[in-house]
Structure 1
Amino acid sequence: MITIKDIAKLAGVSYSTVSKALNHDPRIKPATREKVLAVAEKHHYRKNIMAQQLSSGRSNIIGFVLDELNNPLFANISGNLHAELKKLGYQMILVVADEGMDVLDHLRVDGCIFWDYEMTDRAAFWQRFANIQIPCFVLGTDDSPNSPYIKIDRKEGIYKAVEHLKNNGHTQIGFIGNSQPIKLEGYREALQRTGLEWNEDYILPAYSSWEDGYFAIRNYEWTAHAPTAFIGLNNMVTRGALRALLEAGYKVPSDISLIGYDDLPDMQYAEVALTTIGPPLDELAIQAAELIVALIRGEQVQYPVVIQPQLYHRQSVALYQAT
């Protein structure tokens, strides 16, 4: 296996120059960097992470901990976060909680980002989190930990969705999904803020999958007083609900309007281009990358960082026409 010393000899430069070039040090002239990288690529050089850790005390690896991989939202967030961390000179390794934490321990990552996933014992999680000895923070939490964190204002997002539907004449607005208390609280508060009535029957039980959204609509008993618009808990629930509505013969949005929570690229390519509410994922990734790197460098940071969801107008909401 070729080493940095071998590359230095072949490129006609010093060992330290090769090391700086491989780590994208801005002090290295572009022509020198290109020569070094060309030699490294030609001879299939691969970094020795363990050696790098021993010499620098850093791995330049950041862990990202998720609890599930089924939701395309997490693939999108992970891709954006990886790209932003790479710009800052770091690699990202994705692990699944809780067993994945052992992998991060062995790799001795420089820092760690936790997605705030649903758990049965939050007190135990926060206790374990407080004992982690490397820079870390929680992304997307609704709690208020006494440490840096990034919050998504989900309640404000749901309010914007309700407000948008009311502005289009809808006063009977339902919610598909009951597995995320913060969004249900936001839904109830949004109805109060907009002067609309709360109706328990307008909440359709669903967890978080496409099938949950699909069967929530399929199993709903429609009456003359049924909602004229729905908000979906997340992207998958909304896509499933849309399919069920269309199969049942409803026209979206002329019969039923629909807003999905989470904006992903595929939402605009659904059977009906879906209006959505959700955090801008590129901004989320930038803020997360900058925060973890600042913590690794020991810089003072202001927290919480609050991400405001945005409304993305498409074709699944229409002005309500009474019949």
Structure 2
Amino acid sequence: MTSTREPAFGAADGEGGATIAQIAELAGVSVATVSKVVNGRSEVAVETRAMVETVIREHGYRRQKKINRAALIELVVHELEGAYAMEVIKGVDRVASEHHLALVLTELHGRHTPGRTWIEGVLARRPTGVITVFSGPTPEQCDQLNSRGIPFVLVDPTGEPGHEFPSVGTSNWSGGLSATRHLLDLGHRRIAVITGPPHALSSRARLDGYRTALDTTGVPVDPELVRRGDFNIADGLTHTRDLLRLADPPTAVFAFNDSMALGVYQAAHEAGLRIPADLSVVGFDDLPPAQWAIPALTTVRQPLRDMAAAATDIVVAIANGEPPAQQRLVLATELVVRASTARPRS
């Protein structure tokens, strides 16, 4: 005979869960202490805070029927440098302004997970919602946001997004496929790629698209032509320098973002090569500077501004009690052919 023990309280869904007084009793602390933790106040010892958060995770937190939210959208980006972040900010601001919401911007300075001070600030501000771009909260931070009724959406997540929280991405595999097919159709067979970091879902998907295009054409993948980058200009420069020193160098380079493509341009210039006469180049993103490169860059358009706007629409809808129509929204990419690609020399 087996028996199951019912949890003391219901789930943290805003109706079940434990009250602040019940959480205080379970954790062995005062009601005031629990209130401070729930509201993101900083004057609580680390050990005490962790104990209270554990109780909240285990038993849930019975929130007030009406959640008093500030007219704010919290936007978290891994770094602010470059046009990528500006496209995201413009997309979020477009929708936030329609709903009279202000932006609070957090830069992670290249990291992909916010720190403890960030989550404390968010809990204290009680924003309408949180959007994280190419980054994401830790599981514990997710629990904290969820238990306080603060919706959040992932944009261009670095890892495989779960089904618990909404995310907005783009068709990276199709983008990698179309970029590589374009070069193959021009007659290129020595096509190098400079990828993003292996932990990035977008990079892995683009690489899979590249490999699929080669495989369906009967062109073997040459490991010498696959170089790992980190989505910055310096990687495009360094890897292309090395690629051009090969005994059988590539006739084309597919860089997994526009920044690395600019590094490819610089390396070609140093080597006395002309683009596209001597080397074809394809990027990814189609950020505004791509069309002003000399020659204008052929690239895969990733609709960053629309992705950010869609994420903001979802956050606002959830805050208004409307569940999202789908948890994973994927917007289409588009190959934009400009002047940086041509047939290889015979």
Matching of residue 250 in structure 1 with residue 273 in structure 2 = yes
Provide the rounded CA distance (Å) in 2 between the counterparts of 1:282 and 1:151: 11
Query: 1:81 Cα shift?
Result: 1.6
Q: Which residue number in structure 1 is paired with residue 142 of structure 2?
A: 129
Provide the rounded CA distance (Å) in 2 between the counterparts of 1:64 and 1:195: 44
Matching of residue 289 in structure 1 with residue 312 in structure 2 = yes
Residue 259 of structure 1, aligned match among 262, 276, 282: 282
Matching of residue 216 in structure 1 with residue 232 in structure 2 = no
Provide the rounded CA distance (Å) in 2 between the counterparts of 1:144 and 1:281: 18
Matching of residue 163 in structure 1 with residue 176 in structure 2 = no
CA contact (8 A) 1:178 1:184 kept: no
Provide the rounded CA distance (Å) in 1 between the counterparts of 2:126 and 2:283: 39
Residue 160 of structure 2, aligned match among 143, 155, 164: 143
Call closer, same or farther: CA 1:143–1:56 in 2, change over 3 Å.
closer
The superposition leaves residues 227-269 of structure 1 with CA deviations (integer Å, 9 ceiling, x where unpaired) of 2111112121111111111221111011110001111111111
Paired letter, 2:153 = F
Structure 2: tracts of 5 or more residues without a match: 1-65, 109-113
Percentage identity across paired residues of the two chains: 26
Matching of residue 184 in structure 1 with residue 184 in structure 2 = no
Query: 1:282 Cα shift?
Result: 3.2
Paired letter, 2:160 = D
Provide the rounded CA distance (Å) in 2 between the counterparts of 1:237 and 1:262: 11
Query: 1:127 Cα shift?
Result: 4.8
Q: Which residue number in structure 2 is paired with residue 93 of structure 1?
A: 104
CA contact (8 A) 1:80 1:281 kept: yes
The superposition leaves residues 49-73 of structure 1 with CA deviations (integer Å, 9 ceiling, x where unpaired) of xxxxxx9923110111112222431
Q: Which residue number in structure 2 is paired with residue 38 of structure 1?
A: none
Residue 195 of structure 1, aligned match among 218, 232, 238: 218
Q: TM-score, normalised by structure 1?
A: 0.75
Paired letter, 2:124 = H
Q: Which residue number in structure 2 is paired with residue 235 of structure 1?
A: 258
Matching of residue 311 in structure 1 with residue 324 in structure 2 = no
Call closer, same or farther: CA 1:187–1:210 in 2, change over 3 Å.
same
Aligned-residue RMSD, C-alpha: 2.3
Paired letter, 1:299 = E
Residue 70 of structure 2, aligned match among 59, 83, 96: 59
Query: 1:176 Cα shift?
Result: 1.5
Paired letter, 1:125 = T
The superposition leaves residues 255-287 of structure 1 with CA deviations (integer Å, 9 ceiling, x where unpaired) of 110001111111111122101113123322331
Matching of residue 73 in structure 1 with residue 84 in structure 2 = yes
Q: Which residue number in structure 1 is paired with residue 35 of structure 2?
A: none
Paired letter, 2:335 = L
Paired letter, 2:81 = N
Provide the rounded CA distance (Å) in 1 between the counterparts of 2:285 and 2:102: 26
Paired letter, 2:257 = N
Q: Which residue number in structure 2 is paired with residue 37 of structure 1?
A: none
Call closer, same or farther: CA 1:188–1:66 in 2, change over 3 Å.
same
**Number of residues of Structure 1 aligned to a counterpart in Structure 2:** 263
CA contact (8 A) 2:73 2:130 kept: yes
Paired letter, 1:160 = S
The superposition leaves residues 135-176 of structure 1 with CA deviations (integer Å, 9 ceiling, x where unpaired) of 112111251311321122211111110111111111221102
CA contact (8 A) 1:177 1:237 kept: no
Call closer, same or farther: CA 1:131–1:103 in 2, change over 3 Å.
closer
Provide the rounded CA distance (Å) in 2 between the counterparts of 1:282 and 1:208: 19
The superposition leaves residues 55-108 of structure 1 with CA deviations (integer Å, 9 ceiling, x where unpaired) of 992311011111222243112211222122212322221113423333322221
Provide the rounded CA distance (Å) in 2 between the counterparts of 1:65 and 1:232: 25
Secondary structure in 2 aligned to 1:150?
strand
Paired letter, 2:83 = P
Q: Which residue number in structure 1 is paired with residue 41 of structure 2?
A: none
Query: 1:221 Cα shift?
Result: 4.7
Q: Which residue number in structure 2 is paired with residue 174 of structure 1?
A: 192
CA contact (8 A) 1:155 1:185 kept: yes
Secondary structure in 1 aligned to 2:265?
helix
Paired letter, 2:302 = P
Provide the rounded CA distance (Å) in 1 between the counterparts of 2:271 and 2:317: 52
Provide the rounded CA distance (Å) in 1 between the counterparts of 2:145 and 2:308: 22
Q: TM-score, normalised by structure 2?
A: 0.70
Q: Which residue number in structure 2 is paired with residue 273 of structure 1?
A: 296
Provide the rounded CA distance (Å) in 2 between the counterparts of 1:311 and 1:91: 34
Query: 1:199 Cα shift?
Result: 0.7
Residue 121 of structure 2, aligned match among 95, 103, 107: 103
